């Protein structure tokens, strides 16, 4: 490929001085980005959660290295790991996963965890603090910069299917209210934060049932903790009614996005999400980070996941 010396010199000088030059462009025309004074936009990097290949379906719990290889073959930019899907966590396995991602040309961009601080029992909460600290250290060992965290929930639903049948609404334990639980959750995250800061892992509190079922609940906790190491993981599919206004409220603190699709009909429910509109929300808040696909439908992942990637590429092209 022929490199024009004037283009090279003008690009170098532009970077040093802030000026742009026409170089070898025909008729001395400048790109629109130069004329407007703004850098050309880029799309969000698109990841896929290993959950997309599993979805808690019996007999389909793929190994993480297999998910990484499939993600690379499908053309993703990164992989988000669902911790409960990991079958081994010894150091040799973790370093092998990092190598697998390197060879596939992928980032390991997120770790999705499960913990719960919504319990009146201090011992239960402390066990979950230690569990979350261990997950932060796991993310650090994998070179992962952000980790999805939850508030936890009361556990009064018979099971997750019953919770979904009730649209994510769950009554508190007898004698308690949600107001009792907020201090427990805030204290739990405050105990985890020193480890998160030491490891350089940003916690992203997800709008994910429990006290995180509403944007007000998520933001109340994040703002009370008031640390750059606890921000928001925005899940596009966890507001079952009026999602766009609610996602907008999370925008200012969002450091990671999980994007749901439901090809073949959802396992628990189906939402008709407008990703052009969601992309507009992200752009308004200057969100440039990862968007991680969580496919949650009945269609074969081998066809639904590439279909989802193509749709997200179009919507988030920049």
Q: What are phi and psi of 123, to 5 degrees?
A: -65, -40
Burial of 7: CB neighbours in 10 Å, binned 0-12, 13-18, 19+: middle
Is the pLDDT reported for residue 20 higher than 80? no
| CATH 3.20.20.150-classified regions of the chain | 41-315
Query: 309: which residues sit within 8 A by CB, 6+ positions away?
Result: 46, 48, 74, 75, 76, 293
Average the pLDDT over 82-95 and give the result.
97
The pTM is what?
0.86
Is the pLDDT reported for residue 188 higher than 70? yes
pLDDT of residue 108: 98
Instruction: Tell me the longest C-alpha to C-alpha distance in the chain.
Output: 77
In this structure, of 52-66, 200-214, 273-287, the range with the lowest mean pLDDT score is 52-66
Percent of the chain with pLDDT over 90: 77
Beta-strand relationship, 254-261 and 78-82: unpaired
Q: How confident is the model at residue 161 (pLDDT cuts 50, 70, 90)?
A: confident
Is the pLDDT reported for residue 292 higher than 60? yes
Task: Tokens for 149, please give them.
Answer: 């965290």
Q: How confident is the model at residue 209 (pLDDT cuts 50, 70, 90)?
A: confident
pLDDT of residue 58: 76
CA 106 – CA 59 distance, rounded (Å): 26
Is the pLDDT reported for residue 159 higher than 50? yes
C-alpha separations of 285 from 2, 134, 147, 148, 215 in Å: 40, 32, 20, 20, 16
Is the pLDDT reported for residue 41 higher than 70? no
Domain 41-315: CATH superfamily is Divalent-metal-dependent TIM barrel enzymes (3.20.20.150)
């Amino acid at each position: 490929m022929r490199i024009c010396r004037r283009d090279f010199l003008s690009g170098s000088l532009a970077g040093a001085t802030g000026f742009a030059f026409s170089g070898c462009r025909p008729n001395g025309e400048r790109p629109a980005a130069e004329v407007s004074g703004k850098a050309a936009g880029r799309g969000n990097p698109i990841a896929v959660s290993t959950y997309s290949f599993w979805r808690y379906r019996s007999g389909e719990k793929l190994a993480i290295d297999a998910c990484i290889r499939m993600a690379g073959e499908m053309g993703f930019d990164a992989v988000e790991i669902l911790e409960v899907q990991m079958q081994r966590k010894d150091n040799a396995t973790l370093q092998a996963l990092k190598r697998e991602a390197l060879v596939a040309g992928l980032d390991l961009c997120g770790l999705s965890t499960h913990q719960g601080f919504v319990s009146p029992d201090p011992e239960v909460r402390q066990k979950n603090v230690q569990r979350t600290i261990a997950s932060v250290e796991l993310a650090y060992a994998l070179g992962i910069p952000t980790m999805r965290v939850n508030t936890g929930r009361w556990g009064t639903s018979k099971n997750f299917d019953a919770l979904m049948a009730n649209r994510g609404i769950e009554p508190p334990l007898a004698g308690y209210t949600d107001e009792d639980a907020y201090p427990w959750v805030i204290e739990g995250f405050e105990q985890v934060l020193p480890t998160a800061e030491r490891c350089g892992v940003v916690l992203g509190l997800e709008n994910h049932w429990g006290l995180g079922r509403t944007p007000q609940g998520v933001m109340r906790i994040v703002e009370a903790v008031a640390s750059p190491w606890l921000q928001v993981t925005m899940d596009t599919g966890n507001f079952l009614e009026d999602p766009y206004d609610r996602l907008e409220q999370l925008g200012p603190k969002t450091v990671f996005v999980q994007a749901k699709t439901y090809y073949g009909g959802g396992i628990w429910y189906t939402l008709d999400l407008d990703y052009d509109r969601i992309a507009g929300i992200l752009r308004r808040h200057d969100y440039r980070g990862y968007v991680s696909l969580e496919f949650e439908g009945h269609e074969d992942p081998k066809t639904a996941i590439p279909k989802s990637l193509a749709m997200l590429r179009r919507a988030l092209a920049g």
